[in-house]
């Protein structure tokens, strides 16, 4: 069923695992992710960025997701990722999305609160849940100073104030992850102490089992990068969040883990390999079919070995 992520996240909190939130842009990605969720009997969040909305159109995405749910029977939330404004959130809600993110992290604090609240009021009145973001997911240098971290990472006291003043259902925080394939110059470092503090302060304020969201959480799968490079690509110095760190976050209050880069790399790796091995191929079902199978395998692996949400449906 197309469901909200509320129940999924609350079960994930109790079960010390996380729900995978995978970015979707076309039919093959939707099929791959939902089939992997079926293979593992796991709920899943399919998320759509503003550029994905522009690329595919909300109606196409919604109908393809409905078809995928019909085929697989998985519990699936359809979520707007990094919603830039009220109008985009409204458009998605009108198109049947069950969850929206309003990303006001680049606004100043009070403006982020005002704009988030507006989306929360509209969404809640229509049975839709809202994720918001506090803190900035910048690319993190190796030697991030304590001052720099304090300036960009989520402030625990502000997180409590933000959640109580906006009524938002989940909060994306900055603790050292970042978007894209080039996340770190050196070793990955996540500020787990800050995550712990955010959760304990939320609990002390009466927000028990409050779901936290981790963006920028691709591992930048080395096998996909290697394949891309073996077959003519040039992806140098890419690195992501190690699986153990994601597992640790999932065992804490992180209930939703966002991954897009790993899907992009997987799709590109499979297509590059296809043409490398079959230079005379030109049937799109051949290379897109290979990409779909590769992504399905990657997502299945993530669910089983990183997220821990396998067998968690219903």
Provide the binding-site residues for ligand 13P, judged by CB under 6 A: 23, 81-82, 179-180, 215-218, 258-262
Q: 169 or 262: whose CB is closer to ligand 13P?
A: 262
**Of 94, 110, 112, residue with least CA distance to 102:** 112
**How far is residue 191's CA from residue 290's CA, in Å, rounded to a whole number?**
38
Of 47-55, 72-80, 198-206, 275-283, the window that binds ligand G3H (rule: CB under 6 A) is 47-55
Q: For residue 49, how many other CB atoms are within 10 A of its CB? A: 18
Please state the closest distance from residue 29 (CB atom) to ligand G3H, in A: 11
Asked if 244 contacts 188 with a C-beta cutoff of 8 angstroms, the reply is no
Please state the closest distance from residue 214 (CB atom) to ligand G3H, in A: 12
Single residue of 155, 260, 262, 290 touching ligand G3H by CB under 6 A: 260
Q: 112 or 258: whose CB is closer to Zn ion?
A: 258
Extract the tokens encoding 274. Answer: 């296809």
Please state the closest distance from residue 276 (CB atom) to ligand 13P, in A: 25
Q: Which of 81, 155, 191, 221 is catalytic?
A: 81
Q: 124 or 179: whose CB is closer to ligand G3H?
A: 179
Maximum separation of any 2 CA atoms in the chain, in Å = 63
Distances (CA, A) of 258 to 63, 70, 104: 22, 24, 17
Please state the closest distance from residue 219 (CB atom) to ligand 13P, in A: 8
**How far is residue 103's CA from residue 274's CA, in Å, rounded to a whole number?**
37
Extract the tokens encoding 261. Answer: 């880069």
218 touches, from ligand G3H, ligand 13P, Zn ion, none (C-beta below 5 to 8 Å by class): ligand 13P
236 in active site: no
Q: Indicate the helix (H) or strand (E) that contains 81.
A: strand 76-83
Radius of gyration in angstroms for the set of CA atoms belonging to the chain, rounded to a whole number: 19
Q: 258 or 313: whose CB is closer to Zn ion?
A: 258
Extract the tokens encoding 102. Answer: 């309003």
Q: 101 or 227: whose CB is closer to ligand 13P?
A: 101
Query: Residue 52 interacts with ligand G3H (CB under 6 A)?
Result: yes
272 touches, from ligand G3H, ligand 13P, Zn ion, none (C-beta below 5 to 8 Å by class): none
Q: For residue 108, how many other CB atoms are within 10 A of its CB? A: 8
Asked if 113 contacts 165 with a C-beta cutoff of 8 angstroms, the reply is yes
Question: Which residues are catalytic, by number?
Answer: 81
Under the rule (CB under 6 A), what is the footprint of ligand G3H? 23, 49, 51-52, 82, 179, 260
């Amino acid at each position: 069923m197309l469901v909200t992520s509320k129940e999924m996240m609350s079960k994930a909190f109790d079960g010390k695992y996380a729900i995978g939130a995978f970015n979707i842009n076309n039919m093959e990605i939707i099929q791959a992710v939902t089939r992997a969720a079926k293979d593992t009997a796991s709920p899943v969040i399919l998320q759509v960025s503003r550029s994905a909305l522009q690329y595919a159109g909300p109606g196409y995405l919604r109908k393809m997701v409905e078809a995928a749910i019909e085929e697989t029977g998985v519990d699936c939330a359809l979520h707007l990722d990094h919603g830039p404004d009220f109008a985009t959130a409204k458009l998605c809600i009108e198109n049947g999305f069950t969850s929206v993110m309003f990303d006001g992290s680049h606004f100043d604090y009070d403006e982020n609160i005002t704009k988030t609240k507006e989306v929360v009021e509209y969404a809640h009145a229509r049975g839709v849940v809202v994720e918001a973001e506090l803190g900035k997911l910048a690319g993190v240098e190796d030697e991030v100073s304590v001052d720099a971290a304090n300036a960009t990472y989520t402030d625990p006291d502000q997180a409590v104030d933000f959640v109580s003043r906006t009524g938002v259902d989940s909060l994306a925080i900055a603790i050292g992850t970042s978007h894209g394939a080039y996340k770190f110059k050196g070793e990955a470092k996540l500020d787990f102490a800050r995550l712990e503090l955010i959760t304990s302060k939320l609990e002390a304020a009466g927000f028990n089992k409050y779901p936290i969201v981790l963006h920028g959480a691709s591992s930048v799968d080395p096998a996909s990068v290697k394949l891309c490079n073996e077959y003519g690509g040039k992806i140098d110095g890419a690195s992501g969040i190690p699986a153990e760190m994601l597992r640790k976050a999932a065992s804490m209050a992180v209930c939703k883990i966002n991954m897009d880069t790993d899907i992009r790399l997987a799709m590109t790796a499979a297509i590059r390999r296809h043409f490398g091995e079959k230079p005379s191929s030109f049937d799109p079902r051949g290379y897109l079919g290979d990409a779909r199978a590769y992504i399905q395998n990657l997502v299945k692996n993530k669910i089983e070995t990183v997220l821990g949400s396998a067998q968690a449906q219903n």
